[in-house]
Chains A and B, each alone.
Chain A
């Protein structure tokens, strides 16, 4: 909406603000209320156990292992040790993730993002104003969003079709033809460890079903060719309504070269991603570019 206000030519500068105090409510009760009150809510579904269904179908369809998912968690808790804004930076091992308490099989405690309170804000401006007022503006070059069917049973939970569609729109607008080559760093909405792998597939940053071998290859590590979630992502800070915009902010820091110890050298194009609804029913993708 902020982008649309600027693109309309009616507003020069727009402030976009998000805040979330997850600690003031009961997340399971609240996320239960995203399910249909007549058909699904009484089953006791919430964000965690519905995602467990998705993780299981992803594992079954593509042979992804719990170890591979755990590696995401290890990476995304280690990366934020250089991020002062992160909620849960820590050193953990794959073994510790695998042995942590099972919340809803196959999701374990350390596969899961924390309950965080937080707020963030970004300032958007039209091109001329941005050039006048800011020495290093970061440009939004592409944006796309899309939603899948509502009922879990209507979807193939193992494939993020709506994400593929959202990414296609964003890449088209940004003129990106080969996302793997052209994108230097990605901030992806990893509410659970397996999600980072699935969303990378949907984003076209790895082939369908290859999320597991991608993490094994080290491609998304800080020293890999496409670092994913240098900030620690959502796994290390999950203020729900904030976390998507935080991905944009982290991308901006990367492109401005202001990401400190988590800086990806020479990052010129960044991708920020957010999800909505159960098991990533809806997705939003931003492509950002550096001032040159």
Chain B
């Protein structure tokens, strides 16, 4: 039988646009300390550390080395993982594999970013082919915006469908998540009237740039049961990178990498009917448009059914499948931490420790990561060690 992997601790900083009172290592140390506290552990209980960010955002090479004063990795095995937007989710998956391999018992996974420290849009643009694509793509927003024009044209979706997603996620952040960066409610009308940043994406459709850090503690089954009364079990992981040239992905209107990663993670976890089996989702939705277009890839609706799903209200708090009780990426986006926040928030839900943002009775959750040239990570987490 495979080694079971549990999540036993999660900590995050109070996210904001500029953390001028914290150097990067200090920011990291806050998330680490909170994660250790939440699990009732000390740094000496940690066998290995995984850490990552977008390395060119702060222009610090070998972040795993530099961060040791904040991560607690001194004289421990430490590994850097950096995979663009999916960095946070890939760090989570690396933490998972550290345990699943049987090499380590308790592992600390850390994601962080000081987005305010550079022109991060320029930095992101370096993920595109330098010769033929970089100067046209327009950072992270451009390709997402273009993808929605293809989706609208193919399925008749509207800008208003996307605005509903934005209203939902911002409302959740404002009402339920004290750690969120943007905590401001808004109306569909306000979103629709905000200025175009990159048509059809408007100012209120897009995620902010955030300074923040997150840390998640993974443990073997034996350790997890000792540490936590109700650990969160990682039942499935899936990763998929598909394209070298981002232009090839845009015209597709959909997100095949997410479909493939979800398929892998669901199969491993035993999820056969995602809409029925999942109780809550923490999705890496960097623009409200993606909250419409990517739902089908997760198997939550039929092809082109994003607008119907979003307008039905089932993804709101109190609905059948609440999406982003934390407010998600639209409210908080410290990129290297963003995917790990999804895993941490999903774990809190199934551990019953999500406080104000708790979805009643949540037992099975999905978390996703998204990045760069349209690649995806999916994690299935549950309070049950296996699904029947």
Residues of A within 8 A of B (CB): 1, 3-10, 30-31, 33-34, 36-38, 143-151, 161-162, 165-166, 169, 276-278, 281-282
A residues less than 8 Å from B280 (CB atoms): none
User: Does B97 lie at the interface of the complex (its beta carbon under 8 Å from any beta carbon of A)?
Assistant: yes
* Alpha-carbon separation in the docked complex, A148 to B79 (Å): 13
* Alpha-carbon separation in the docked complex, A282 to B100 (Å): 23
A-B contact count (CB 8 A): 96
Interface of B is mostly: loop
B58-83: CB near A (< 8 Å → 1, else 0) gives 11111011111100011111110100
Contact B61 A33 (CB under 8 A): yes
Contact A282 B64 (CB under 8 A): yes
Contact B68 A33 (CB under 8 A): no
B residues less than 8 Å from A30 (CB atoms): 61
Contact B75 A147 (CB under 8 A): yes
Chain B residues numbered 215-249 whose CB sits less than 8 Å from any CB in chain A: 237
Jot down 7 A-B pairs with beta carbons below 8 A, ordered by A.
A3-B101, A4-B94, A9-B100, A37-B60, A143-B103, A150-B65, A281-B62
Q: Which of A10, A147, A161 contacts B65 (CB 8 A)?
A: A147
A residues less than 8 Å from B78 (CB atoms): 145-147, 282
Q: Which of B58, B66, B73, B97 contacts A8 (CB 8 A)?
A: B97
Closest chain A CB from B340 CB (angstroms): 16
* Alpha-carbon separation in the docked complex, A288 to B97 (Å): 21
Interface of A is mostly: mixed
Closest chain A CB from B26 CB (angstroms): 12
In the complex, the 3 A-B pairs of residues with the closest C-beta atoms, listed nearest first: A8-B100, A277-B65, A7-B101
Q: Which residue of A lies closest to B268 (CB)?
A: A10
Apart from A7-B100, A9-B3, 20 more pairs, CB < 8 Å: A1-B79, A1-B81, A1-B97, A8-B3, A8-B97, A9-B2, A31-B61, A33-B61, A37-B58, A37-B59, A38-B23, A145-B77, A146-B76, A147-B65, A149-B69, A149-B74, A150-B67, A277-B62, A281-B62, A281-B65
Contact B74 A147 (CB under 8 A): yes
Contact B75 A34 (CB under 8 A): no
Q: Which of B2, B65, B97 contacts A4 (CB 8 A)?
A: B97
Closest chain A CB from B141 CB (angstroms): 27
Chain B residues numbered 39-71 whose CB sits less than 8 Å from any CB in chain A: 58-62, 64-69
